Chain A
Amino acid sequence: MSLSEVEATTESEQVEQPAGNLRKEAWKRLRRDPVALVGFGLIAFFVLVAIFAPLIAPYAPDAQPGRGMITPTSIPGPSAEHWFGLDASGRDEFSRVVYGARQSLLVGVVATLFGMAGGLLLGVLAGAFGGKVDAVVMRIVDVMLSIPGLLMAIAIAALLGASLWSVMIAIAIINVPVFARLLRGQMLAQRGSDYVLAAVSIGVRRRPIVLGHILPNSISPVIVQATLTLATAIIEAAGLSFLGLGSADPRVPEWGRMLADTQRYLASAPHLAFFPGIAIVIAALGFTMLGERLREAIDPKYRR
């Protein structure tokens, strides 16, 4: 171990020692974690692009400024005028990728929130009541988890018909069991803790114990999971759109759909696959990096 490393460790120990509060300490650790910061930066970039898409994109997503430049055999690639080139309909690829961030963010956030809400409900039910309620809820969860997620999402989305909503609902549903199982486990672990016993010993009723004591102590891993789920939700949303289960409106730019539309031109215009693909990767990577490091910061078990 070099001298600078020695200094670095003693310094970090000094900083960590006085912090008694786990969350504060986790936050502190997170702020000093370069990977988490990069992840956060990617997310911020992605969110800002989505919010300010009309200011960033030079063209409307459905405008066809290059209609005359497209022939069946040649689709112009990146140029000074069109940074990411043109697509098969002569639309500005850069503008479409920028606007596409909105769809991905919307689907990701809405699907994750709904999935989390459903999971919290089931998890609290199972974790708070235990016994038969727990057994029933967890068997349902097991059944759902036994079906591959994407396969189930495809089935649900197909059943609901191609639309943005069905994508969101499908992704939300497949994430419900993940959150439910996680929260239940956390709550069961907390149920036996001293502070719960102490609360019971002064006569606090069950509901305030579950909602006021156990739940707040079980929620941290759920927040971590939500961050990670955002990443997979974005990928899954792209996947569903790729399969034609997303919005039926071809004018709405969506990364997965853009990839699907590209298939026929892959040989002549690889840039049409490259840019939406990179966009998906960046958005998902940002949430994954932050989520993983958040998990490590909150739960010392995962720390390396």
Chain B
Amino acid sequence: MIDSEPLLDVRELSVTFTRKGGPTVRAVDGVSFTVRPGETVGLVGESGSGKSVTSLAVMGLLPRRGVEVGGQVLFDGDDLLTLPRDRMRDIRGRDIAMVFQDPMSSLNPVVPIGVQVTEVLERHQDLSGDAARSAAAELLSRVGIPDPTRRLKEYPHQLSGGMRQRALIAMALACRPRVLIADEPTTALDVTIQAQIIELLKELVQDTGAALVMITHDLGIVAGLCDTVHVMYSGRIVESAGRRELFAQPRHPYTGGLLASVPRLDAPRGRPLHPIPGSPTDVLRWSRGCAFAPRCPNRIEPCTDGPPPLESIGGRSLRCLNPLAETEEVAAR
């Protein structure tokens, strides 16, 4: 399956926010990745790394004013970035759908759940009336919402956060899209609910054969879910690898830092946490060097001379001049 043609092929995607009288901000800078049918791809990075903007750009959901999007997003041979608006609207929800971070605000507060779920069915599958309603009830029960016929008549505030996210997932998967983009779908939820939602996503993706792009800052989610992982920092991909390789042997110091900063239950008591020093605002412009250099423990002189290239080393892509040694991280554990 992994060897099949990519379903979604993002090439050199860049997003620049321009403001009148203000500096332009390049939020996404030459990001390329592919998603194959049925594959689960993780986009990992901390706040401001450009992962959400990447997903919005792929969906064509960025505002048109003040935003410049470059590169290509190939889906089924079409470049989604240049597709006419009408055709893009047909694709959204039917072929590519998205689940957002905050289920509290992603449902319309004054419209019953049922109307919102049937809306997507009416839009893409020509269902209406009772047929749409029973299909919606079916969907809700598939995402694990009990008593779906009653729930359809209720308003979002009558549902818990987890239930709302389930309803949003139901809406996103209603038309069996081939790609589902989940942008931090569990960040706004309780920890206990998080695991349930991830399980649900995993299950549904397997059932429907959809590819999943999981955008998260949570390495735990990546470890349990993704086939391929792309680590983003300051708008660029700094390391891409299969899940196993990445977790066994992170090569980019940032990836290493992320992994080391995850608190471990099996660590001896009293052992301090390992944060990455500095903050994501301490960045260098990529044009001047590696953006991570100011925080990097492995920094060497050439890091700040110019942008490090993305190189393929042993089945992974790496953007680093002085990567972690093959065994260093394993030994540190």
A-side interface residues toward B, CB under 8 Å? 20-23, 193-195, 197-205, 208, 212-213, 216-217
On whether the beta carbons of B155 and A21 are closer than 8 Å, the reply is yes
Interface centre among B61, B90, B108, by most chain A C-beta atoms within 10 angstroms, is B108
Q: What are 25 A-B pairs with beta-carbon distances under 8 A?
A: A20-B157, A195-B106, A195-B107, A195-B109, A198-B98, A198-B106, A198-B171, A199-B108, A200-B92, A201-B59, A201-B92, A201-B98, A202-B92, A202-B123, A203-B91, A203-B92, A203-B94, A203-B123, A204-B93, A204-B119, A205-B89, A212-B111, A212-B115, A216-B108, A216-B110
Q: Tell me the smallest distance from the CB of B173 to a CB of chain A, in Å.
A: 10
**Cβ 8 A contact of B120, one of A194, A204, A212:** A204
B158 within 8 A of A: yes
- Which chain B residues lie closer than 8 Å to A23 at the CB level? 110
On whether the beta carbons of A199 and B92 are closer than 8 Å, the reply is no
Beyond A204-B123, A213-B111, A217-B110, list 8 extra A-B contacts (CB 8 Å): A21-B155, A21-B158, A194-B105, A201-B61, A203-B91, A203-B124, A205-B123, A216-B108
**Cβ 8 A contact of B157, one of A21, A205, A208:** A21
Interface centre among A22, A203, A204, A212, by most chain B C-beta atoms within 10 angstroms, is A203
Q: Tell me the smallest distance from the CB of A217 to a CB of chain B, in Å.
A: 6
Q: What string of 1s and 0s marks CB contacts (under 8 Å) between B104-139 and chain A? A: 011111110001100110011000000000000000
B interface bracket (residues with beta carbon within 8 Å of A)? 20 to 34
In the docked arrangement, what's the CA distance between A201 and B183, Å? 12
On whether the beta carbons of A195 and B120 are closer than 8 Å, the reply is no
- Which chain A residues lie closer than 8 Å to B318 at the CB level? none
Q: Tell me the smallest distance from the CB of B118 to a CB of chain A, in Å.
A: 11
On whether the beta carbons of B119 and A202 are closer than 8 Å, the reply is yes
Q: Tell me the smallest distance from the CB of B96 to a CB of chain A, in Å.
A: 9
Residue of B nearest to A198 (CB): B106
Q: Tell me the smallest distance from the CB of B166 to a CB of chain A, in Å.
A: 14
B213 within 8 A of A: no
On whether the beta carbons of A198 and B119 are closer than 8 Å, the reply is no
B254 within 8 A of A: no
- Which chain B residues lie closer than 8 Å to A217 at the CB level? 108-110
On whether the beta carbons of B172 and A202 are closer than 8 Å, the reply is yes
On whether the beta carbons of B105 and A195 are closer than 8 Å, the reply is yes
177-203 of chain B: CB within 8 A of chain A: none
**Cβ 8 A contact of B90, one of A195, A201, A203, A212:** A203
Q: What string of 1s and 0s marks CB contacts (under 8 Å) between B76-108 and chain A? A: 000000000000011111100110101001111
In the docked arrangement, what's the CA distance between A201 and B106, Å? 11
In the docked arrangement, what's the CA distance between A208 and B90, Å? 15
| Closest CB pairs A-B (n = 7) | A203-B93, A202-B93, A20-B157, A194-B105, A203-B92, A198-B106, A195-B108
Residue of A nearest to B85 (CB): A206
On whether the beta carbons of B111 and A202 are closer than 8 Å, the reply is no
B231 within 8 A of A: no
A202-B92, A203-B93, A217-B110 known; A208+B100 contact, CB < 8 A? no
On whether the beta carbons of A22 and B61 are closer than 8 Å, the reply is no
Residue of B nearest to A191 (CB): B63
- Which chain B residues lie closer than 8 Å to A202 at the CB level? 92-93, 97, 119-120, 123, 171-172, 174
B8 within 8 A of A: no
Q: Tell me the smallest distance from the CB of A218 to a CB of chain B, in Å.
A: 10
In the docked arrangement, what's the CA distance between A200 and B85, Å? 11
A199-B119, A212-B111, A217-B109 known; A194+B100 contact, CB < 8 A? yes
Q: Tell me the smallest distance from the CB of A206 to a CB of chain B, in Å.
A: 9
Residue of B nearest to A216 (CB): B110
Q: What string of 1s and 0s marks CB contacts (under 8 Å) between B52-80 and chain A? A: 00000001010000000000000000000
B168 within 8 A of A: yes
- Which chain A residues lie closer than 8 Å to B94 at the CB level? 203
- Which chain A residues lie closer than 8 Å to B115 at the CB level? 212
Residue of B nearest to A25 (CB): B157
- Which chain A residues lie closer than 8 Å to B107 at the CB level? 195, 198
In the docked arrangement, what's the CA distance between A20 and B106, Å? 15
Interface centre among A198, A208, A217, by most chain B C-beta atoms within 10 angstroms, is A198
- Which chain B residues lie closer than 8 Å to A205 at the CB level? 89, 123
In the docked arrangement, what's the CA distance between A195 and B98, Å? 12
In the docked arrangement, what's the CA distance between A199 and B171, Å? 10
Q: What string of 1s and 0s marks CB contacts (under 8 Å) between B231-267 and chain A? A: 0000000000000000000000000000000000000
On whether the beta carbons of A197 and B92 are closer than 8 Å, the reply is no
On whether the beta carbons of B106 and A216 are closer than 8 Å, the reply is no
On whether the beta carbons of B92 and A198 are closer than 8 Å, the reply is no
In the docked arrangement, what's the CA distance between A295 and B106, Å? 25
Residue of A nearest to B158 (CB): A20
**Cβ 8 A contact of B106, one of A194, A204, A208:** A194
- Which chain A residues lie closer than 8 Å to B158 at the CB level? 20-21
On whether the beta carbons of B168 and A198 are closer than 8 Å, the reply is yes
Q: Tell me the smallest distance from the CB of B170 to a CB of chain A, in Å.
A: 11
On whether the beta carbons of A197 and B61 are closer than 8 Å, the reply is yes
- Which chain A residues lie closer than 8 Å to B89 at the CB level? 203, 205
- Which chain B residues lie closer than 8 Å to A195 at the CB level? 105-109
- Which chain A residues lie closer than 8 Å to B93 at the CB level? 201-204
Interface centre among B89, B90, B97, B124, by most chain A C-beta atoms within 10 angstroms, is B89
